[in-house]
Structures are given as C-alpha cells and as structure tokens.
Amino acid sequence: MRRILLFSALIVAVGVGSAQTRVYKSTDEEGVVEFSDRASQGAEAVKVQPAQSVDVPTPKLPPSSRQSPKSAAPSAPYTAFAISSPQDDEALVEHSGRVTVGVTIDPPLRLGSGHRLQFRMDGSPIGPLSAATTMILENVDRGTHVLTADVVDSSGRVIASTQPSTFHLQRTSVIRRQGGG
C-alpha cells in the first residue's frame, strides 16, 4: 500500500514538476515493484503522461431562500428571536430522551400575516410549521445536538432565523444497564 502511495505521489510530482523529471520502475528479487526518481541497475524508464486538468465553470446558484433577520422585510421585523431552552452549551440528563425546546420572539409571532415557526435539530426540520413557541422532542439520541428555529411566512420564505444553540444530552446506555454498572 505504501508503494502505491509513493507511486501516486511521484506521478503527481511528475505532473507538477518539469518535463525532464523521469520515473524509473524496478523489480527486486522477491518480485516487489518499486518506483523511483533515480535510475538504478535494471530499472526501466516509465513514460508518465502529464496530469490532465479540466476547467469546470462555476455553476450559477439560485438566490438563497434563507435570509438573515437583518434582511427581513421592513413590515415584519422581529427585534429578538432566540432559542431560550435548552440554553446554549447546556448539558441535560434526561434518560427518556425528552427535551423541551423553546424560543423567545419579540414582537410576538405575526400569525395574522401567516408567520409560523420551523424548529430544526442538527439541520433537519423537526415537526410541522407551528404557532407555538415551545416544542417537546421525544426519544432524542444521547450526544451533542444543535438547535435552530426559523420564522417562515405564508409563502414558505424564511424571514428570520435564530443563532444555533448547542446542547448535550446524557442518557443511560443500554449496554450500561445490561452490565449492571
């Protein structure tokens, strides 16, 4: 395996180096093939093709549907919007995996304008759009998780987002229960 990596490194070096760099291949008495940049007795020169490169144009991406709270429409500013529970970097001991997530928002969520909350854990939506500022999560895996929330308008456009909030859930391990420790 090490020889393959060495050979790969030599090929890259040949592609990057000058055109006069040479690679030599030899086989020892045990049948092990070796590659080197130095000629040795019985070694043969290997013709190495120059490395190929491909120019790929940068794709044009559509404008992001996520907008920061600062770019929210002037008719719907939220002056405060944050995850309030669990607190950032909080360690929770909850053996059932039940976690209550809450946000603070000011002014209150504009339900008449079709605004709803979308909670996210580890980047994935959790639950449907909601008018509630709290959500109870059941059977959350132990470990470290990141929570965020978005205010979404009636057309599905994100108009405000919280800063990420990390929590650490400690649960009893099934292995530990079986082991009696």
DSSP state of 69: G
**Residue of higher predicted confidence among 13 and 130:** 130
Check residue 74 and give its pLDDT: 43
Residues 135 and 91 in one domain: yes
Residue 43: band (very low, low, confident or very high) from pLDDT cuts 50, 70, 90? confident
**Residue of higher predicted confidence among 75 and 24:** 24
Whether residue 157 contacts residue 67, with contact meaning beta carbons closer than 8 Å, is answered with yes
Distance CA 16, CA 21 (A): 10
Whether residue 169 contacts residue 92, with contact meaning beta carbons closer than 8 Å, is answered with yes
CA 44 vs. chain centroid, Å, equals 47
Q: What is the pLDDT of residues 45-65, one digit of tens each?
A: 888 777 666 676 766 666 655
- For the chain, how many structural domains are there in total? 2
Whether residue 82 contacts residue 162, with contact meaning beta carbons closer than 8 Å, is answered with yes
Q: Which domain holds residue 32?
A: 2-46
Of 60-64, 79-83, 101-105, which gets the smallest average pLDDT? 60-64
Domain contains 55: no
Residues 108 and 149 in one domain: yes
Domain contains 75: yes
pLDDT at 160 over 50: yes
Residues 106 and 163 in one domain: yes
Average pLDDT over residues 57-84: 65
> Six-digit token pair at 91?
């360690």
Distance CA 94, CA 98 (A): 6
Residues 86 and 151 in one domain: yes
Check residue 123 and give its pLDDT: 93
